[in-house]
């Protein structure tokens, strides 16, 4: 306890140096906490775009569909399978997929055409919440379609405009029909942004495909592990292909994993500069007080105590930095989680096929606080160790003679 | 004595400042190391970005519309095959007359549907003149994995992305029908044989792009011989794109717009803007932390030497001279710090700029796409000279600024009080 008081008093004997050192640590910690929350927010957003909107947790397809996504490769009897998956605690919705040409006025574009069971789909995908203009699909409106963001731009269409779709039907005839755009989606990702969504009934009529579905989108219970879910789905959907979103988008999955590790590298870089500053300050503090430390040793203070004293001085500075940094980060974190950084001025963009949300929100988890703090304390520990050892090994007689 | 006093004037102040630095060697070396590490980090950060973005912008230009696109003023907002430029040949010559322009090529870009007997898929297409383009203007030539490039602009072939070919179930020599809407909104079709398969590694490109010879497309769409949707203009250095676009814009007349890459590739531009903003922020943070470290050292070294400064004042040094002495010390720190930074940076920089780190094994043959443009799979660096200057100047100025307050304190020393200090 006495050591603690001494360390505390020592800090304030060199007020300005302590303030500068603590301020630098505080600033670094503050920035790292905000940065971590932004990265976490970005990763969550990415995962949400992939899982909640585009892919679901896992997808069931007929064997070989992934390699050859043909209109004819379908799951023959989806209802029974969907019922069994439902009993096992999964939420499931079927999707029909085809390709074609969309034309409006003088413009045309190659498109992916998605046929959805509108009510079922709402239970597995949040896409209906991503309507930017107009309205989402209505099962009662068979000629109403919803288009992705970039497609709407290419064709120059908005809600209420007419859209012609052209393709080849399953019976070999030319599929050709007129639709009305009900809504335009926000940017989600490359795939969704260039797609046309219609009701399953409209899809079947257009492509002359009376039965079978191409994909089942499966959502797992929130608490279950993805791998465990996939294993259970495989056991139910025997003879069919089952892939998790991680299998379908391996690049994004590894991106999500590696970004968190990469964040630690950024910590180390920023804290490295803090470490140099801290080593310098602590060394100065030790060398300035060589005589004083010599006197302490001469009156019987052991090397362990001296070392503890120097370590405590570093620890106290870090503690102040942590307290002040965290207090200061609160308004920042509240702002980032509530309002976010509005980047819409930059224009929309996408990374690895998934759109950036123009308003970048932060997310606070225990890790957003713990990771920067623990890394800081670790780095402080390392940088104070050498000066502390140096101080502990002073020879009292020489030290007292030191000028 | 007179000799000695004279000796202390003028350039000898710098010598004194130099010696003062080395009176506390460990501290000086630590401060220098923090400057060197800070500058090293800033240079690598910036060099990585400069190189990465320049590569991606050039790649984007070679994938699509050049660094500057000459096109119908309305094409950007509502791309349709009816919005064309006439006299493409004349526009090309006009562009090539600009000293910063290296190449200019005519292209027709748009959307179509590809159909076989069983399957149909939507795709984007680029119609280009195989005799006028090479790998410096068009990156798909090198991406051919099967088959051969077009022989002429009238070739009856089509080059198809690998994933798209698989989705359609076509291989070399198979017939496909391509369908698009012409300028009047009529549906028109052409027939072609698959003459090559291209694989770029970019999932968005390989699944959704096909290439056609430009004259074949002109025939199907009923275009005139010198009509195209765009003239893609390539410049020596992508940073000149805006200037070239401005110059060409003034010359091409009201029927044609000269659009720089960041307007045709808004997604890429936004991503780069975001990353550059983030990097600037990190660089400023590093600068502030380094400056705090320098301030700390200089301040303590001044406080320690108060007695010495008192004596100097007593023998006739003016406050401004003391101020100057401490500022010279920080100037030396700045210069040595920069030299240290150069030593620390040289080898890693040389390695990363020439060899680089190959990341392709991490990506398993796929590319990480930004707004549909592949990121380079080899991590390389290359900094622009002006950015390097900015970093060096900023580091030096930061060192001087952190010396201001300590220097001012040194000048304010009270000789009587400080000489009494032990």
Question: Mean pLDDT, to the nearest integer, of B207-225?
Answer: 91
Contacts of B355 (CB under 8 A, 6+ apart): none
B78/A99 Cβ within 8 A: no
Helices (H), ranges, A70-193: 78-87, 118-124, 149-155, 190-193
Q: Quote the distance between the C-alpha of residue B30 and its chain's center.
A: 33
Closest CA–CA distance from residue B115 to any residue of chain A (Å): 8
Chain A residues closer than 8 Å to B297 by CB: 280, 284
**Among partner residues B37, B79, B184, which is closest to A107 by beta-carbon distance?**
B79
Q: Say how far apart CA B13 and CA B282 lie, in whole Å.
A: 36
The SS3 assignment for A272 reads helix
Q: Say how far apart CA B209 and CA B107 lie, in whole Å.
A: 15
**Among partner residues A106, A110, A266, which is closest to B121 by beta-carbon distance?**
A110
| A39 neighbors A259 (Cβ within 8 angstroms) | yes
Q: Report A:3-62 residues touching B (Cβ under 8 A).
A: 14, 16-17, 20-21, 23-24, 27-28, 31
Q: Say how far apart CA A240 and CA A127 lie, in whole Å.
A: 26
Closest CA–CA distance from residue B284 to any residue of chain A (Å): 11
Q: Where are the domains of chain A?
A: 2-51+252-401, 58-219
Mean pLDDT, all residues of chain A: 87
Structure tokens at B350: 């040389």
B292/A277 Cβ within 8 A: yes
Q: Report A:304-363 residues touching B (Cβ under 8 A).
A: 343, 346-353, 356
Summarised one tens digit per residue, pLDDT across range B147-171 is: 988 988 888 899 999 989 988 889 9
Summarised one tens digit per residue, pLDDT across range B257-269 is: 999 998 888 878 8
- Chain A with chain B: Cβ pairs closer than 8 A: 205
B185/A99 Cβ within 8 A: no
Q: What is the DSSP secondary structure assignment for residue B86, as one 8-state letter?
A: S
Q: Say how far apart CA B314 and CA B307 lie, in whole Å.
A: 10
Q: Say how far apart CA A368 and CA A329 lie, in whole Å.
A: 11
Cα first-last separation, chain B:
27
| A178 — pLDDT class (breaks 50, 70, 90) | very high
**Residue of higher predicted confidence among A208 and B135:** A208
A166/B289 Cβ within 8 A: no
In A, minimum Cα distance to B265 occurs at A349
| B2 — pLDDT class (breaks 50, 70, 90) | very low
For residue B282, pLDDT over 50 is answered with yes
In A, minimum Cα distance to B279 occurs at A266
pLDDT of residue A392: 87
For residue B419, pLDDT over 80 is answered with no
Q: Report B:67-86 residues touching A (Cβ under 8 A).
A: 77-82
In B, minimum Cα distance to A251 occurs at B363
Packed helices A366-392 and A15-48: angle between N→C axes, nearest 10 degrees: 150
| A59: exposed, middle or buried (Cβ count in 10 Å: 0-12, 13-18, 19+) | buried
Mean pLDDT, all residues of chain B: 86
Q: Quote the distance between the C-alpha of residue B422 and its chain's center.
A: 57
* B194 DSSP β-pair partners: B158
Structure tokens at A348: 């929309």
| B3 — pLDDT class (breaks 50, 70, 90) | very low
Question: How many angstroms separate the Cα of B213 from the Cα of each of A189, B88, B90, B157, B421?
Answer: 30, 16, 20, 8, 89
Q: Quote the distance between the C-alpha of residue A389 and its chain's center.
A: 42
For residue A247, pLDDT over 90 is answered with no
pLDDT of residue A242: 92
> Which of B169, B209, B296 is most worth mutating to test chain A (most A CB atoms within 10 A of its CB)?
B296
| A224 neighbors A61 (Cβ within 8 angstroms) | no
B180 and chain A in contact, CB less than 8 A? yes
Q: Report A:124-183 residues touching B (Cβ under 8 A).
A: 154, 156, 166-168, 172
pLDDT of residue B243: 92
Question: Mean pLDDT, to the nearest integer, of B10-31?
Answer: 84
pLDDT of residue B345: 93
Q: Say how far apart CA B395 and CA B291 lie, in whole Å.
A: 9
Question: Mean pLDDT, to the nearest integer, of A197-215?
Answer: 93
Question: Mean pLDDT, to the nearest integer, of A314-322?
Answer: 92
| B122 neighbors B130 (Cβ within 8 angstroms) | no
Burial pattern B210-234, b for ≥16 Cβ within 10 A else e, equals bbbbbbbbbebbebeeebbbbbbbb
Q: Say how far apart CA B65 and CA B98 lie, in whole Å.
A: 18
pLDDT of residue B158: 94
| B46 neighbors B391 (Cβ within 8 angstroms) | yes
Chain B residues closer than 8 Å to A71 by CB: 118-119
B185/A105 Cβ within 8 A: yes
pLDDT of residue B6: 47
Phi, psi of A210 (to 5 degrees): -65, -30
A348/B119 Cβ within 8 A: no
Closest CA–CA distance from residue A259 to any residue of chain B (Å): 13
Q: B358: closest CA among B382, B381, B378? A: B378
| B41 neighbors B364 (Cβ within 8 angstroms) | no
Q: B162: closest CA among B113, B192, B109, B205? A: B205
B359 and chain A in contact, CB less than 8 A? no
For residue A266, pLDDT over 80 is answered with no
Chain B residues closer than 8 Å to A275 by CB: none
**Among partner residues B78, B184, B270, which is closest to A347 by beta-carbon distance?**
B270
A273/B37 Cβ within 8 A: yes
Summarised one tens digit per residue, pLDDT across range B35-89 is: 898 899 888 888 888 888 888 888 888 887 889 999 998 888 888 888 899 888 8
pLDDT of residue B364: 61
In A, minimum Cα distance to B184 occurs at A106
Chain B residues closer than 8 Å to A112 by CB: 122
Question: Mean pLDDT, to the nearest integer, of A33-44?
Answer: 86
**Among partner residues B111, B293, B295, which is closest to A276 by beta-carbon distance?**
B293
* A131 DSSP β-pair partners: A185
Lowest mean pLDDT across A59-63, B206-210, B286-290: B286-290
B296/A21 Cβ within 8 A: yes
Summarised one tens digit per residue, pLDDT across range A334-368 is: 998 888 887 776 666 676 667 777 778 888 888 88
Parallel, antiparallel or unpaired: strands A91-104 and A162-168: antiparallel
Q: Report B:371-410 residues touching A (Cβ under 8 A).
A: 371-372
Chain A residues closer than 8 Å to B34 by CB: 273, 276-277, 280
Phi, psi of A153 (to 5 degrees): -70, -45
Chain B residues closer than 8 Å to A351 by CB: 271, 368-371
Q: Say how far apart CA A382 and CA A217 lie, in whole Å.
A: 50
Q: What is the pTM of this model?
A: 0.77
| B417: exposed, middle or buried (Cβ count in 10 Å: 0-12, 13-18, 19+) | exposed
Predicted ipTM?
Answer: 0.71
B119/A156 Cβ within 8 A: no
pLDDT of residue A347: 65
Q: Say how far apart CA B29 and CA A284 lie, in whole Å.
A: 13
For residue B362, pLDDT over 70 is answered with no
Chain A residues closer than 8 Å to B121 by CB: 99, 110
B120/A99 Cβ within 8 A: yes
Closest CA–CA distance from residue B294 to any residue of chain A (Å): 8
Question: How many angstroms separate the Cα of B123 from the Cα of each of A179, B115, B168?
Answer: 21, 11, 11
Chain B residues closer than 8 Å to A246 by CB: none
> Which of A65, A99, A194 is most worth mutating to test chain B (most B CB atoms within 10 A of its CB)?
A99
A248 and chain B in contact, CB less than 8 A? no
pLDDT of residue B1: 41
Summarised one tens digit per residue, pLDDT across range B327-346 is: 999 999 999 999 999 999 99
Chain B residues closer than 8 Å to A103 by CB: 181, 185, 187
**Residue of higher predicted confidence among A213 and B417:** A213
B166 and chain A in contact, CB less than 8 A? yes
Summarised one tens digit per residue, pLDDT across range A269-297 is: 778 888 887 887 788 778 778 888 888 88
């Amino acid at each position: 306890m006495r050591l603690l008081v001494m360390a505390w008093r020592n800090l304030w004997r060199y007020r300005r140096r302590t303030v500068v050192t603590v301020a630098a640590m505080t600033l670094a910690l503050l920035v790292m906490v905000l940065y971590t929350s932004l990265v976490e927010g970005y990763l969550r957003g990415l995962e949400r775009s992939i899982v909640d909107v585009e892919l679901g947790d896992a997808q069931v397809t007929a064997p070989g569909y992934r390699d050859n996504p043909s209109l004819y490769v379908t799951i023959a009897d989806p209802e029974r399978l969907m019922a069994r998956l439902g009993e096992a605690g999964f939420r499931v919705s079927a999707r029909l997929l085809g390709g074609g040409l969309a034309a409006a006025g003088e413009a045309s574009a190659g498109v992916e055409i998605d046929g959805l069971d509108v009510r079922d789909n709402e239970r597995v995908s949040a896409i209906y919440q991503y309507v930017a203009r107009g309205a989402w699909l209505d099962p009662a409106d068979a000629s109403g379609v919803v288009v992705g963001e970039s497609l709407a731009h290419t064709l120059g269409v908005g809600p209420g405009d007419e859209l012609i779709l052209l393709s080849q039907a399953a019976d070999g005839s030319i599929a050709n029909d007129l639709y009305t755009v009900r809504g335009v989606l926000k940017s989600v990702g490359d795939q969704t942004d260039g797609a046309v969504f219609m009701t399953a009934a409209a899809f079947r009529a257009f492509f002359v495909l009376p039965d079978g579905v191409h994909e089942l989108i499966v959502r797992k219970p929130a608490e279950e592990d993805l791998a465990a879910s996939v294993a259970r789905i495989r056991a139910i959907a025997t003879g069919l292909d089952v892939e998790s979103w991680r299998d379908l988008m391996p690049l994004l999955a590894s991106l999500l994993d590696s970004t968190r590790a990469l964040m630690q590298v950024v910590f180390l870089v920023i804290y490295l500069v803090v470490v140099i500053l801290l080593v310098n300050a602590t060394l100065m503090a030790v060398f300035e007080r060589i005589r004083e430390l010599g006197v302490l040793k001469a009156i019987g203070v052991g090397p362990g105590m001296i070392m503890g004293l120097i370590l405590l001085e570093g620890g106290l500075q870090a503690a102040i930095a942590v307290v002040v940094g965290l207090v200061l980060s609160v308004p920042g974190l509240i702002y980032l989680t509530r309002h976010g950084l509005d980047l819409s001025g930059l224009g929309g963009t996408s990374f690895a096929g998934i759109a950036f949300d123009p308003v970048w929100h932060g997310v606070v988890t225990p890790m957003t606080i713990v990771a920067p703090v623990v890394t800081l304390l670790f780095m402080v520990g390392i940088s104070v160790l050498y000066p502390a050892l140096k101080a502990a090994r002073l020879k009292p007689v020489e030290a007292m003679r030191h000028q | 004595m007179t000799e000695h006093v004279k000796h202390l004037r003028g350039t000898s102040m710098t010598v004194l400042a130099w010696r003062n630095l080395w009176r506390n060697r460990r501290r000086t070396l630590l401060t220098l190391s923090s400057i060197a590490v800070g500058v090293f980090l800033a240079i690598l950060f910036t060099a990585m970005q400069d190189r990465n973005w320049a590569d991606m912008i050039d790649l984007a230009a070679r994938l699509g519309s050049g660094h500057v696109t000459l096109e119908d003023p309305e094409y950007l907002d509502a791309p349709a095959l009816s919005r064309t430029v006439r006299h493409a040949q004349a526009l090309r010559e006009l562009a090539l007359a600009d000293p910063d322009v290296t190449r200019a090529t005519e292209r027709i870009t748009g959307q179509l549907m590809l159909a076989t007997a069983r399957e149909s898929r939507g795709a984007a297409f680029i119609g280009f003149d195989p005799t006028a383009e090479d790998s410096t203007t068009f990156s798909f030539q090198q991406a051919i994995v099967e088959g051969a490039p077009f022989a002429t602009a009238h070739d009856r072939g089509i080059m198809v992305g690998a994933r798209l070919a698989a989705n359609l179930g076509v291989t070399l020599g198979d017939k496909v029908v391509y369908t698009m809407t012409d300028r009047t909104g009529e549906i028109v079709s052409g027939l072609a044989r698959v003459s090559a398969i291209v694989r770029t590694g970019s999932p968005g490109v390989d699944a959704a792009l096909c290439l056609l010879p430009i004259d074949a497309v002109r025939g199907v769409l009923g275009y005139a011989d010198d009509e195209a949707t765009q003239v893609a203009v390539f410049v020596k250095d992508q940073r000149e794109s805006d200037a070239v676009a401005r110059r060409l814009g003034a010359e091409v007349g009201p029927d044609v717009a000269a659009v720089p890459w960041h307007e045709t590739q808004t997604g890429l531009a936004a991503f780069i803007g975001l990353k550059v903003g983030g990097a600037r922020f990190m660089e400023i943070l590093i600068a502030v932390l380094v400056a705090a470290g320098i301030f700390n050292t200089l301040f303590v070294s001044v406080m320690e030497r108060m007695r010495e400064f008192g004596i100097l004042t007593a023998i006739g040094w003016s406050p401004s001279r003391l101020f100057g002495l401490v500022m010279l010390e920080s100037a030396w720190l700045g210069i040595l710090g920069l030299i240290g930074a150069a030593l620390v940076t040289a080898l890693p920089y040389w390695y990363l700029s020439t060899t680089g780190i190959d990341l392709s094994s991490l990506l398993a043959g796929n590319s990480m796409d930004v707004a549909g443009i592949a990121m380079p799979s080899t991590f390389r660096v290359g900094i622009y000279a002006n950015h390097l200057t900015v970093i060096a100047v900023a580091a030096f100025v930061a060192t001087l600024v952190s010396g201001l307050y300590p220097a001012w304190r040194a000048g304010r020393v009270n000789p009587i009080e400080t000489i009494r200090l032990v």
